[in-house]
Amino acid sequence: MNGKLFILFVMVGIPTITWAILAWAVMIVLGVLHSLCSAIPALSFWVSLLITIMVFAIVVFAASMATDNT
């Protein structure tokens, strides 16, 4: 049972923590841009998370299209 819990943590916990850290970093960057430019609206953590997921999906899609599918 301990091995299954470890695998579950590795497959679910680490990616979830990674997404949260990336969203936090995006939120900090957007907050800095908001305070410097005052053109970008202040965003919440969830909006930053969605932006991070969308950027990641675009990068993964572009990389998959650039590879040879043979």
CA–CA distance from 1 to each of 4, 6, 14 (Å)? 5, 9, 19
8-35 pLDDT tens trace: 778 888 888 887 888 788 778 877 887 8
pLDDT of residue 70: 55
| pTM beyond 0.85 | no
